[in-house]
Amino acid sequence: MCGIVGYVGLREAQGVLLNCLSRLEYRGYDSCGIAVSNGHIAQFKDAVRVGALKETCPIFEGTAGIGHTRWATHGLPTAINAHPHFDCSQRIAVVHNGIISNYDQLRKLLIDEGHLFVSDTDTEVIPHLIEKYLDDEPITAVEVALSKLEGSFAIAVLIDGYDRIIASRKESPLVIGIGDNEKIIASDVPAILDYTNRVIYLEDGDIAIVSNNEVQVKQNHGGGTVNREIHLIDWDRKQIEKGAYDHYLIKEIHEQPKVIRDSLANYFERETYDFQSLIDSETSSLVILGCGTSYHAALVGKHIIEELLGIQVRTELASEFVNRGRVMPASAAIAITQSGETADVLLSLKKMKQSVARIFVITNVPGSSASRMANHTIFTNAGPEVSVAATKSYTAQLIELYKLALSSNLLEHSIRKQMQAELRQLPALVKQVLDSESEIANYSRMLSDCSTVFYVGRGINFPVALEGALKLKEISYIHAEGYAAGELKHGPFAMLDKRTPVIAMIAKDDVYDPMISSIKEIKARSSPVIAVADESDDSIGSLADVTIRVPHTSSIFSPVINGVVLQLIAYYTAKYKGCPIDFPRNLAKSVTVI
């Protein structure tokens, strides 16, 4: 995780670095720092958020510098462990994202040679290694130092007296923004959009030597110079502003009707799908994997595909799959990942490549590592998602899964037409849910005093229950459990009492009757029930303590509609509690460690 930036240009670097870092805080925010070069390297770092660093940082003159916002892996979040890290002579500053797995061994070696370490981080070995080889040209010293590192990294190196920044990546994202007479290095595209929309995505093993008017890219291990294409990014700056909203999260929740419309635009206009029949008669079994919210989308995807196409789907938590000894074969695999950089997903993909012929990735980030590993990439149209909690990206993932299933030649024509007609209605239905925001906000006030909340559903709404619970814990810090409603009687009933609300998703589908039975059983344990139910449901009102009515859809689409209700519940509950909604404690948006 962690966000790194670098700037070389004609402006004062400090303002640019701090601005870019504030755009990267979703990657980690327990401490931050900058270093600016101007005859010597000046640095400032602290265990605070970027906003606070802006207030306290002295003014450094200089038009080249690097910066970092941290999510601690090695060592506590303290000022000493914050980046940049330095060599003994304080001439070499390094910011790093990733993990150096052989740092202990390297550190011992360097200490034996007289190097003095001040932090507990793995990163600190990098400037010391560069120092060790600095008799050579800076670029050669960096190359040799990198060849000693094991693990994953994206780094930016600032060397006193050298007017370029050296940047490199291995299994960690790094982009270079190409401005007029200025270049910006960053972990991710949103950081640079204030300055340019032209970017180079570095590849694994690339070393870039970056000056204000040139980017030279070499391949590590003595490889030659390579050309990396410049890509135009069509995200615009407004998408990464909060605008009039209190938080990114609520802004992103509100963007969902547009996200769905955008995702469907081409699909309906052209009456074809770019990935026509990716799931076809050759697909006899499919595996879908992801982590967190993306895993919940995978679980919904299993229902969609099994139900509509009759293909067997296995779902995998990437964080589990990655350590699995034996990989069961499948004819195709889909990895779902908003960021495209989740380490568990990337390693799972690597593993999967040995036994699965066709690999698709559904991701929101063009140029991401996952997209480069796939045979086919399906880009979601969510736009940049800043808040750590995933909302619009989940909805966009579901839309791609619907499109994928509906495009299959295995689907009967009449069902396809009926489903497509319903899909067209989704933006309007989600808007209808958003219109009942104040009512949902009122119910959420009740939850903000609770210490445990259960979420239950059956069938396709079971993963929605898991997602609702994840969202609540993540941003409100209230303990929440997502359960298959029928499982409550196998243990969790022991937890239920009048202080433990249960949020129940109940759709008008095949599992309606068993859901009603579950709600009755819950009521018999005195728990208050908040039902999220179809507007046409006449019976639920007399059973539940509170009923949140949602517009009618086929239950296959209810994960979208109900998902939005649960996002609003989590948001308002966290807001009543005064939680730091966009940047919850201990988390980061892009989880690049395993």
User: So which residues are the catalytic ones?
Assistant: 2, 589
Maximum pairwise Cα distance, the chain? 80
**DSSP code per residue over 485-531:** GGGGGGTGGGG-STT--EEEEE-SSTTHHHHHHHHHHHHHTT--EEE
Q: To the nearest whole angstrom, how small is the minimum distance from the Cβ of residue 581 to ligand M6R?
A: 12
Residues from 322 through 381 that contact ligand M6R (CB under 6 A): 337-339, 342, 345
When asked if residue 591 is in the footprint of ligand M6R (CB under 6 A), the reply is yes
Which member of 63, 283, 293, 407 binds ligand M6R (CB under 6 A)?
293
Q: CA dist 131 to 68, 117, 358, Å?
A: 21, 13, 45
When asked if residue 395 is in the footprint of ligand M6R (CB under 6 A), the reply is no
Q: To the nearest whole angstrom, how small is the minimum distance from the Cβ of residue 384 to ligand M6R?
A: 12
Task: Give the interface segment with ligand M6R, choosing from 79-87, 287-295, 404-412, 547-555 (CB under 6 A).
Answer: 287-295
When asked if residue 592 is in the footprint of ligand M6R (CB under 6 A), the reply is no
Task: Give the interface segment with ligand M6R, choosing from 106-114, 200-208, 382-390, 530-538 (CB under 6 A).
Answer: 382-390
For 4, how many CA atoms within 13 A lie in the half-sphere containing its CB? 31
When asked if residue 566 is in the footprint of ligand M6R (CB under 6 A), the reply is no
Q: Which residues contact 430 (CB under 8 A, 6 or more apart)?
A: 256, 257, 260, 395, 560, 561, 564
Q: To the nearest whole angstrom, how small is the minimum distance from the Cβ of residue 473 to ligand M6R?
A: 10
When asked if residue 22 is in the footprint of ligand M6R (CB under 6 A), the reply is no
Q: To the nearest whole angstrom, how small is the minimum distance from the Cβ of residue 337 to ligand M6R?
A: 3
How far apart are alpha carbons 144 and 159 in whole angstroms?
15
Closest CA to 253 of 583, 570, 580: 570
Task: Give the interface segment with ligand M6R, choosing from 142-150, 188-196, 352-360, 388-396 (CB under 6 A).
Answer: 388-396
Which of 162/295 has CB closer to ligand M6R?
295
* Closest residue to bound ligand M6R by CB: 292
**DSSP code per residue over 50-82:** HHHHHHHPPP---SEEEEEEE--SSS-S-TTTS
When asked if residue 408 is in the footprint of ligand M6R (CB under 6 A), the reply is no
Which member of 291, 304, 404, 507 binds ligand M6R (CB under 6 A)?
291
- Contact between 65 and 7 (Cβ < 8 Å): yes
When asked if residue 464 is in the footprint of ligand M6R (CB under 6 A), the reply is no
Which member of 283, 294, 562, 592 binds ligand M6R (CB under 6 A)?
294
Residue that is written with structure tokens 């990114």 in the block:
248
- Contact between 28 and 1 (Cβ < 8 Å): yes
Which member of 28, 292, 367, 501 binds ligand M6R (CB under 6 A)?
292
**DSSP code per residue over 157-181:** EEETT--SEEEEEESS--EEEEETT
At residue 63, φ and ψ (nearest 5 deg) are: -110, 15
Q: What is the binding site for ligand M6R (CB under 6 A)?
A: 291-294, 337-339, 342, 345, 388-390, 470, 474, 591
